[in-house]
């Protein structure tokens, strides 16, 4: 299985142009339309209102959180609310300080610069960014060796919106230069239901409340996944149903795509299934588990496990991976009986069956 093409993957790696276009069409355009994340919304609203009242640019904003939770969307909202243009780029696209200097020097006054995956920027670019964020100035180095000269370049005031999935990887000097930092959490099911209803309306497909509940429950706390599942369910409803998304159509459609009631897909279920059926629930080492499901170690560790851990279905222990009671229940399997040796479980009541008195007084 190619993990990049997972229906329940939150990254955009496997998306085609069509999918990106739909995603763009579904983005909320204003803060008032943005669902969930109440604290982030409230705080950001204050930051933007204050900046507008001052007639200045907003402070630099750092957004952290898992893929698909709305970081790009929020950066566009910031620009829209400030009535400013936006430039979008990413850390990996900026490998040389010169790349960054070219972008910074062409910004308009008040422009929002969205820098996705900011933790993946090169070190020299990062250092240039420090000065740009603080003083709206960069030193462009011209020439090489002893003859190299730094030419200071004034920049118009701008707002940097940095996004990262790993806030912990940002060097403190960079983190400290953001005036406002927000951490985005996974969404509650009720919030995802709202996302589904909103997107269904934009896609002009009728979804009844129970249908939205069914999709939301399988969306792994992530709006991007909710929107993606909605589109697949819509296809199914069009082809097999009356075009209306009910609980039954949503469940049947997602069964076809092998996304179960909790949002686990084939890979997740294969990992969990092997752990339970072949290794009695563990502990088992990661490499052994990976071989058992015919996947790379990294795929199991980085693609399947984070969600299983988050859902409380699997735990990583020093002795290996262990399934939780919830995993047995979810997969409809019964855990093996714990061997009740003579050393006595609490069930071996004194005088009861078993070997009473063997270790007794």
Please identify, using beta-carbon distances, which residue of 69 and 129 lies nearer to ligand ADP.
Answer: 69
Closer to ligand ADP by Cβ: residue 71 or 234:
71
Which residues sit at the interface with ligand ADP, rule CB under 6 A? 23, 26-28, 34-36, 67-73, 195, 223-224, 227
Give whole-number Cα distances, 212 to 11, 246, 313, 314, in Å: 22, 8, 24, 28
Closest CB to ligand ADP among residues 105, 194: 194
Active-site option among 6, 57, 72, 249: 72
Minimum CB–partner distance for residue 186 and ligand ADP (Å)? 11
**Which of 292, 65, 18, 38 lies closest to 164, judged by CA?**
65
- Please work out, in degrees rounded to the nearest 5, the angle formed at the alpha carbon of residue 223 by the alpha carbons of 290 and 119: 65
Set 6, 224, 234, 269: catalytic member: 224
Are 85 and 109 in contact by the 8 Å Cβ rule? The answer is no
Q: How far is the CB of 173 from ligand ADP (least distance, A)?
A: 24
Going by C-alpha positions, the residue among 24, 4, 36, 7 that lies closest to residue 220 is: 7
* Strands 86-90 vs 112-116: parallel, antiparallel or unpaired: parallel
91/223 with CB nearer ligand ADP = 223
Query: What's the min distance (Å) between Cβ of 256 and ligand ADP?
Result: 23
Shortest spacing between CB 12 and ligand ADP, in angstroms: 7
Beta bridge partners of 164: 64
DSSP, collapsed to helix, strand or coil, labels residue 27 as coil
Smallest distance from ligand ADP to CB 349, Å: 55
If the CB atoms of residues 35 and 48 are measured against ligand ADP, the closer one turns out to be 35
- Residue 224 is a catalytic residue: yes
Tokens encoding 172:
């403190």
The alpha helices in 223-338, defined as continuous H runs, are 223-240, 247-256, 266-277, 286-293, 297-298, 305-310, 325-330
DSSP H/E element including 160: strand 159-164
Which of 116, 260, 265, 268 is catalytic? The answer is: 116
Q: Is 71 a catalytic residue?
A: yes
Query: Can 39 be counted among the known catalytic residues?
Result: no
The residues annotated as belonging to the active site are: 71-72, 116, 165, 224
């Amino acid at each position: 299985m190619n993990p990049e093409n997972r229906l329940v993957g939150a990254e955009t790696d496997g998306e085609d142009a069509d999918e990106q276009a739909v995603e763009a069409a579904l983005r909320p355009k204003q803060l008032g339309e943005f669902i969930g994340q109440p604290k982030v919304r409230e705080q950001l609203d204050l930051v933007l209102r204050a900046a507008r009242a001052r007639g200045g640019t907003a402070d630099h904003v750092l957004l952290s959180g898992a893929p698909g939770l709305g970081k790009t969307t929020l950066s566009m909202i910031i620009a829209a609310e400030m009535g400013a243009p936006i430039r979008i780029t990413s850390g990996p696209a900026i490998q040389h300080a010169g790349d960054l200097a070219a972008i910074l020097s062409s910004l308009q006054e008040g422009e929002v610069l969205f820098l996705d995956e900011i933790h993946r920027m090169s070190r020299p670019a990062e250092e240039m960014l420090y000065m740009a964020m603080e003083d709206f100035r960069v030193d462009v180095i011209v020439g090489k060796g002893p003859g190299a000269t730094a030419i200071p370049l004034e920049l118009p005031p701008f707002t940097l919106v940095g996004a990262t999935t790993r806030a912990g990887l940002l060097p403190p000097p960079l983190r400290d230069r953001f005036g406002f930092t927000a951490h985005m959490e996974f969404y509650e099911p009720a919030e995802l239901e709202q996302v589904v209803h909103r997107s269904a309306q934009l896609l002009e497909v009728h979804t009844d409340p129970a249908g939205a509940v069914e999709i939301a429950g399988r969306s792994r706390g992530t709006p991007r996944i909710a929107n993606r599942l909605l589109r697949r369910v819509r296809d199914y409803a069009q082809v097999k149903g009356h075009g209306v998304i009910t609980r039954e159509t949503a469940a049947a459609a997602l069964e076809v795509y092998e996304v179960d009631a909790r949002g686990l897909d084939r890979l997740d279920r294969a990992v969990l299934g092997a752990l339970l059926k072949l290794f009695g629930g563990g502990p088992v080492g990661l490499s052994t588990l990976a071989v058992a499901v015919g996947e790379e170690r990294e795929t199991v560790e980085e693609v399947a496990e984070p969600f299983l851990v988050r859902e409380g279905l699997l735990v990583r222990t020093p002795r290996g991976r262990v399934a939780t009671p919830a995993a047995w229940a979810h997969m409809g399997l019964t855990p093996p009986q714990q061997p009740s040796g003579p050393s006595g479980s609490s069930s071996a009541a004194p005088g009861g069956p078993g070997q009473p008195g063997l270790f007794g007084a």
